[in-house]
Amino acid sequence: DDKLLTEPLSHPDFFSVKELFTLKDLFDARVHLGHKKGCRHRFMEPYIFGCRLDQDIIDLDQTVQHLQLALNFTAHVAYRGGIILFVSRKRQFCHLVESTARACGEYAHTRYWQGGLLTNAHIQFGPGVRLPDLLVFLSTLNNVFEPHVAVRDAAKMNIPTVGVVDTNCNPCLITYPVPGNDDSPAAVELYCKLFRMTIIRAKDKRRQSEAIEELR
Amino acid sequence: TLRLICTTTAVQRKNVGASGPEKYTEAFIKKQIEEFNLGKRHLANMMGEDPETFTQEDIDRAIAYLFPSGLFDKQARPMMKHPTEVFPEQRKIQWGEDGRPFHFLFYTGKQSYYSLMHETYEKFLNVQKHQDQLIAQDLPLQKEKRNLAGSRWLTKIELEEMLLEKLSDDDYSRFIQLLQKLVALPCADIEENYIQKFCKEVPVQLQRVVIEPLQYDEQGVAFSTGEGKRKTARATAIVYDNGTGKITVNGTDILHYFPVLQDREQLLFPFQFLGRIGKHDMVCTVSGGGRSAQAGAIRLASAKALRSFVTEKEVEFMRQAGLLTVDPRVKERKKPGQEGPRRKFTWKKR
């Protein structure tokens, strides 16, 4: 049992996450497109490649590195049987995110976030609830273009977060930010596909390792 | 909420009432069901009947016999019912042994409601996709309109019962709007089964008043009857066709029975309205009330009898003229502390 948990940690890329996507895929899905110069957040400046005709272009080299780290982390969390909660407050992609979560066997929350969900969970749900072990944000802002409450709550409850940060978002409180477009349907479908594939891969690997251990 | 600072430990003890409604565990309910079945067999043996064929009605009768109670409230008397009827349906624990919740929308708080919205939206997308396919193949879109007149959507309380969850008015209205959008699409017939779960039949409220057909007496003259009332007077009228406009009340002519012109006008009003003054004969019987009340009662009775002689449009005209409505005004009672129904005693300053 101990070997099951320590073995993946010895390899840098145990789940071969780098094969899932290339820079060209990101470019084709329009991940590099940001918002206009006026919407730019100060802390996103290191991730921006440049500005063309007033529209910010995100540096895809950095995006590739961040995305690999993020997918690797989600794969490890899924391998260890952690609860992953997909959060997004974009109405366009609400259905897509929920279907992705259902396909992975994980959980989603794309609706109105009630104040004490994470911080007051024992009273909201009942004693003995298990909180999510990872929060994945497909969009860090809520409908009023302010940072989503879950970012701050996860930081309070020591829950790691993975989030797609656009040029108008604040990447400070997110453990594994992924600079990229969060408004185009193509980009969000790509993210959903990637997360789904990593989680399913990690769970399959876990089942295989357990089966091998039982055979011994 | 107030935070207590300078208090004693006795006050800071947990407020027992704030824990919410009692949660019944599955084991508890199972035990109750076993006890109920055992008790049912004991009761059957006591009453000398067969334990196998002891129905709920027999149980009720046996309990009423063994524990007679004179309490007025039926629900306060001793009763023995199946535990599923006694204990309200509750949500069981939502997560498994390893702590992972069963439902994928558990962390939203309102999982059944949001999963319902998710499903409904999925049906909506399906219908749109089907529509796009039909357009791509240049096929005509089906336009069979659902009969919206006889059905209504579920109310908020019924939806709450279905989902076992509390809803807000906003949530409910959003759900109904989504359903209406789904129904408005031309190809919504595909998801008819799903939509039927949220519809209810409305019983036709208009009590179609059946207009009786004409009856014929020995000479072949058509006649029909009607009943009417006003205040305390009750009247029955028989209107004959091919008449000369003769009206008889309680065996006497109207000139002798109703000396006042106003009452005779009341009697003739239905005939005058339909323009059939000299065409019908009438024989009526009336009892109770005073002079004016009897006139009003006969008027209503004759109008009801005339419905059979007349087209539906004219019946509608009569109804709108107020000839077919029972006058609900009766004498108001006298109240204590007052001289009459409304009149107060004379106010004296000192």
CA distance A180 to A59: 9
> What is the SS3 assignment for B312?
helix
Q: pLDDT above 90 covers what percent of chain B? A: 49
Question: Is residue A123 within 8 angstroms of chain B, CB to CB?
Answer: no
Cβ atoms of B234 and B310 closer than 8 Å: no
Cβ atoms of B263 and B286 closer than 8 Å: no
Chain B hits for A117, CB-CB cut-off 8 Å, are 107, 109
Q: Sketch out chain B's domains with CATH numbers.
A: 26-86 (no CATH), 106-201 (no CATH), 215-321 (3.30.230.10)
Domain range list for chain A:
20-215
Apex CA B322: angle with CA B317 and CA B326, to 5°? 135
> What is the SS3 assignment for B337?
coil
| Confidence (pLDDT) at B91 | 72
The DSSP-derived string for A25-76 is HHHHTTTTEEEEGGG--GGGGGGEEEEETTEEEE-HHHHHHHHHHHHHHHHH
| Joined tokens for residue B20 | 């919410």
Residue type at B309 in one-letter notation: F
Whether A107 and B114 lie within 8 Å, measured CB to CB: no
Q: pLDDT above 70 covers what percent of chain B? A: 89
As a whole number of angstroms, the longest Cα–Cα distance in chain B is 101
Between B95, B98, B108, which is nearest A111 by CB? B108
Q: In whole angstroms, how far apart are CA B199 and each of A62, B147, B155, B157, B196?
A: 54, 11, 10, 14, 5
The DSSP-derived string for chain A is -HHHHHHHHHSTTTT-GGGG--HHHHHHTTTTEEEEGGG--GGGGGGEEEEETTEEEE-HHHHHHHHHHHHHHHHHHHHTT--EEEE---STTHHHHHHHHHHHT-EEE-S---TTTTTTHHHHT-TT----SEEEES-SB-TTSSB-HHHHHHHHTT--EEEEE-TTS--TT-SEEEES-SSSHHHHHHHHHHHHHHHHHHHHHHHHHHHHHHH-
Question: Is residue A81 within 8 angstroms of chain B, CB to CB?
Answer: yes
Using 50, 70 and 90 to split pLDDT, how confident is the model at A81? very high
Cβ atoms of A190 and A26 closer than 8 Å: yes
CA distance B165 to B112: 7
Closest CA to A162 of A215, A198, A213: A198
Interface residues of B toward A, Cβ cutoff 8 Å, are 93-95, 98-101, 104-110, 114, 118, 121-122, 125
Using 50, 70 and 90 to split pLDDT, how confident is the model at B188? confident
Chain B hits for A101, CB-CB cut-off 8 Å, are 104
Whether B104 and A108 lie within 8 Å, measured CB to CB: yes
Task: Give the chain A residue nearest B114 (alpha carbons).
Answer: A111
Task: Give the chain A residue nearest B119 (alpha carbons).
Answer: A95
pLDDT tens across B251-310, in order?
A: 999 999 999 999 999 999 999 998 888 888 899 999 998 999 999 999 999 999 998 888
Burial of A57 (0-12, 13-18, 19+ CB in 10 A): middle
pLDDT tens across B102-160, in order?
A: 999 999 989 999 999 999 999 999 999 999 998 898 877 776 667 766 788 899 999 99
The more confidently predicted of residues B91 and A145 is: A145
Chain A hits for B125, CB-CB cut-off 8 Å, are 95
pLDDT (average), residues B29-42: 93
* Complex ipTM: 0.92
Q: Above 90 in pLDDT, residue B314?
A: no
Find out if CATH 3.40.50.10490 is the number for domain A20-215: yes
| Joined tokens for residue B196 | 């039927």
CA distance B233 to B98: 79
pLDDT tens across B193-215, in order?
A: 898 889 888 766 555 677 778 88
Q: In the block, which residue shows the tokens 């009763």?
A: B79
| Confidence (pLDDT) at B124 | 94
Using 50, 70 and 90 to split pLDDT, how confident is the model at A155? very high
Whether B100 and A125 lie within 8 Å, measured CB to CB: no
pLDDT tens across B12-22, in order?
A: 565 555 555 66
pLDDT tens across A166-200, in order?
A: 999 999 999 999 999 999 999 999 999 999 999 99
